Chain A
Amino acid sequence: MARLELSNLHAEVAEGDEQILEGVDLEVQSGEIHALMGPNGSGKSTTAKVIAGHPAYEVTEGEVLLHLEDDEFGEDIEIDEDQRTWNLLDLEPNERAALGIFLGFQYPAEIEGVTMTNFLRTALNAKIEEREELFEDEEDEAEEEDDGFESSPMEGPADEGEVGVAEFQGILQEKMEQLDMDEKFAQRYLNAGFSGGEKKQNEVLQAAILEPSVAVLDEIDSGLDIDRLQDVSSGINALRDEQGTGILQITHYQRILDYVEPDHVHVMLDGQIAKSGGPELAEKLEDKGYDWVREDVYGTA
């Protein structure tokens, strides 16, 4: 079990003083699905990026904590008492990823020349390695010797503890089948020339392979036709059901929530969580829009 906790989070654009988050409080446990809704410009995407450590934003106040339990990474790693709580704001984006944070992008980068297979295996191994470093005692660290150079991101053979090429092929194939993805994807370049739907499917595939504790999915439903929406939704449900991932689902629309049923729904207005509730809150938003929330909370429309 893991718990992501945002408390009184304030953030602004790093180059400028525009305040975007004005005190966000939010808690997501693994195994739960939270929907984060709200009009454009209310701070939903910024919240997602701040959790993942995007350099364009500066946190001015508040905390982002990740609490881990012993079973978090299987039997490989025992988590000491004093390493159960991490302040993500002190960590690099890749360290946050290693601790189990995943950000599904609304507009993922296209990286030419890097195949999906190569990228995903590199990412998986980087995460395993980083995790070892984060949880390693300092004494062990001193013993470890640098044996020359690191393996190339292109063609590195598997070191001890790494997932090798053959083993990874099996993992990838299985996950792609679950998501009903064409096996040709494995050899395509990362997001290059992917349709909008393919990109979203790819984000869910990456989450399935990296097995995060908490996945923040930023408008993963935008630009999807109904078939693809169902594929993506079943992928998200599988993340929760099979891996116990906690989901923070950022969306504008009720539509995806028909397939990915949230345990909690939050409405964001002007950089704060204005209202929280159960699935019925999303339905009410669908019917009545956001203005009534504003009225409800601030007493004005």
Chain B
Amino acid sequence: MSSDQDHLQETDTEARFEFKKEENAAVKSDKGLTEEIIRMISEDKDEPDWMLERRLRALEQYQNMPMPSGWPGMPDLSELDVEEIIPYIRPDVDKREGVDDWTELPDEIKDTFDKLGIPEAEKNALSGVGAQYESEVVYQNMQEQWEEKGVIFCNMDKAVQEHPELVKEHFMTTCVPPSDNKFAALHGAVWSGGSFVYVPEGVTVEMPVQAYFRMNSEGMGQFEHTLIIAEEGSEVHYIEGCSAPKYGTHNLHSGGVEVFVGEDAHVQYSTVQNWSKNTFNLNTKRAICEANGTMEWVSGSMGSKATMLYPCTILKGRGSTDTHITIAFAGEGQDIDTGAKVYHNAPDTSSTIESKSISKDGGRTNYRGLVHIADGAENSSTAVECDALMFDNESTSDTMPYMEIEESKVDVAHEATVGKIGDEDIFYLQSRGLDDDDAKKMIVAGFIEPITEELPIEYAVELNRLIELEMEGSLG
């Protein structure tokens, strides 16, 4: 065993998620959403005018859009009051763009990340980590060899300053415009922090690029933006982990992710998220795939009061490919509404969606998916598979697959299974010496194995541990 894994084993995971620090913010916005607040955020970041203008335009769009409604079975958002959310908190870090040396960080931030096991993971296995604390990326490290190849990995605010042409062209323009939905518009107005990844033509980044986001303060919103540009023939795997402690008032996480997959490029975007049970997790994630490009989404969605998340891929170029593997876990009082969207807009495109969900103690999971095959996207194929596992009769799981097929020469498959954890399966494992709990854990670990095998070991271990803790009901 590496010391990395030893460390992960030794950390008290429950404490990690209950753990929170006294606020020590340098700049903290007022609650709610006004033009003044948007200007304050932009000014504090010393942003160029064009970004401020985009923010203000997004704010206007946000104010003019209604809340989503009328979706069958959509999660209840009535308790979410955006006017009560603090959209921006900058921790007290001298260098606004973050620091390169871990030891320069304030103790309280170091302590938090120590508890989360981040530095150990970084030291041992990771090639680069951007760790976001509140609204800012405070720490990042990048191997020199990447820089020599022209790879850029930095926080999004820094990218605005240092790579304005790339950002100007790609930031919330063609992929996720603010007009997409109300929360995309909100995100466009108040976004802060996140990651920027640029991989030049033909470059393969062998190690995964990783970022960890932590929401620490009460009643705040987190709106990180991730922009990944993979040029022709390049390859990169980006991983993010997210968590937030428990507070009495509601938090809002509304992230934005935009991925540009060039011709023959390959991007994997993996995420393991565990939000506190009062967080509204409403995100917009989308990729645009050029000819023969490959996009892979791998996500584990844990925690939150309500999640609405449907990573989307637009298969724009001929022969492009998309894969979704998602897992959702809903316990008491949780409504996890997640799925995938794929637009087949070119011939010879293919997509597979594998969605797994676990519900217990009255939790609800829902697979909501949309596969659109446009007229002319001939010889395209899609396969959707949804499996739901329920612990008890109080929990529910729904499947809402929408298929919009406008082309006849296509191959479409959909399969859904729903089951309760089988008594015979549990007895079989018990008869071999496992107690009731361990038997259930093993069955669930097997159920989510398609996800964990796609993740680096630390994340796979983390995901397993989170699900174990959820099953024991020991996460607030």
Contact = CB atoms under 8 A, between A and B. Distances in A.
B435 A111 contact: no
A230 B443 CA distance: 32
Interface in B4-27: 5-6, 9-14
A153 B428 contact: no
B464 interface: yes
A61 to B, nearest CB: 23
Contact of A153 (B422, B441, B457): B441
A54 interface: yes
Nearest to B427: A54
A120 to B, nearest CB: 8
Given A98-B433, A112-B447, A149 B427 contact: no
Interface in B451-476: 452, 457, 460-461, 464-465, 468-469
Interface string A18-54: 0000000000000000000000000000000000111
A134 to B, nearest CB: 12
In this complex, which of A52, A113, A119, A206 has the most chain B Cβ atoms within 10 angstroms of its Cβ? A113
Given A113-B446, A114-B442, A154-B464, A149 B12 contact: yes
A interface, size bucket: 35 or more
Interface string A144-161: 000111111111110000
Nearest to A49: B427
Given A154-B464, A157-B5, A148 B438 contact: no
A151 B441 CA distance: 11
Interface stretch (A121-129, A248-256, A279-287): A121-129
A103 B431 contact: yes
Given A55-B423, A92-B436, A112-B449, A153 B442 contact: yes
A289 interface: no
A101 to B, nearest CB: 8
Contact of A154 (B424, B434, B461): B461
A71 B161 CA distance: 75
Given A109-B422, A113-B445, A123 B430 contact: no
A190 B12 CA distance: 31
B interface, size bucket: 35 or more
B432 A152 contact: no
B432 A154 contact: no
Contacts of B424: 109
B461 A152 contact: yes
Nearest to A110: B425
A86 interface: no
B434 A122 contact: yes
B429 interface: yes
B208 to A, nearest CB: 18
Contacts of A157: 1, 5-6, 9
A123 to B, nearest CB: 4
Given A109-B422, A148-B13, A157-B5, A189 B446 contact: yes
Contact of A148 (B11, B434, B446, B461): B11
Contacts of A97: 430-433
Nearest to A156: B9
Contacts of B460: 154-155
A108 B427 CA distance: 10
Nearest to B450: A113
B56 interface: no
A153 B438 contact: yes
Nearest to A147: B10
B448 interface: yes
B150 to A, nearest CB: 36
A85 interface: no
A114 B449 contact: yes
Nearest to A129: B433
A21 B219 CA distance: 62
Given A54-B427, A111-B425, A123 B436 contact: no
In this complex, which of B427, B461, B465 has the most chain A Cβ atoms within 10 angstroms of its Cβ? B427
Contacts of A150: 468
B405 to A, nearest CB: 30
Contacts of A210: 432-433
A190 B16 CA distance: 33
In this complex, which of A55, A92, A93, A206 has the most chain B Cβ atoms within 10 angstroms of its Cβ? A93
Contacts of A126: 432-435, 438
B14 A149 contact: yes
Contacts of A194: none
A147 B427 CA distance: 28
Contacts of A151: 9
A208 to B, nearest CB: 13
A93 B430 contact: yes
In this complex, which of B12, B430, B461 has the most chain A Cβ atoms within 10 angstroms of its Cβ? B430
In this complex, which of A103, A152, A157 has the most chain B Cβ atoms within 10 angstroms of its Cβ? A152
B445 A123 contact: no
A285 B422 CA distance: 38
Contact of A109 (B12, B428, B452, B457): B428
Contacts of B438: 122, 126, 153
A276 B284 CA distance: 72
B1 A111 contact: no
A59 B427 CA distance: 17
B450 to A, nearest CB: 7
A157 B452 CA distance: 17
Contacts of B432: 94, 97, 119, 123, 126-127, 206, 210
A130 interface: yes
A290 interface: no
B446 A112 contact: yes
B428 A108 contact: yes
Contact of B431 (A93, A148, A149, A154): A93
Given A126-B438, A154-B460, A111 B443 contact: yes
B5 A111 contact: no
Contacts of A189: 446
A94 to B, nearest CB: 5
Contacts of A149: 12-14, 465, 468-469
B433 A94 contact: yes
A130 B434 CA distance: 9
Interface string A91-105: 011101110001101
B158 to A, nearest CB: 36
A119 B442 contact: yes
A209 B218 CA distance: 52
B11 A94 contact: no
Contacts of A109: 422, 424-425, 427-429
18 contacts: A53-B430, A54-B427, A56-B423, A94-B436, A96-B431, A109-B425, A112-B449, A113-B447, A113-B450, A119-B429, A122-B438, A123-B429, A123-B432, A123-B434, A126-B435, A127-B433, A150-B468, A190-B446
Interface of B: 1, 5-6, 9-14, 422-425, 427-436, 438-439, 441-443, 445-450, 452, 457, 460-461, 464-465, 468-469
Going nearest first, the 5 A-B pairs with the smallest beta carbon separation are: A113-B446, A113-B449, A127-B433, A109-B428, A93-B430
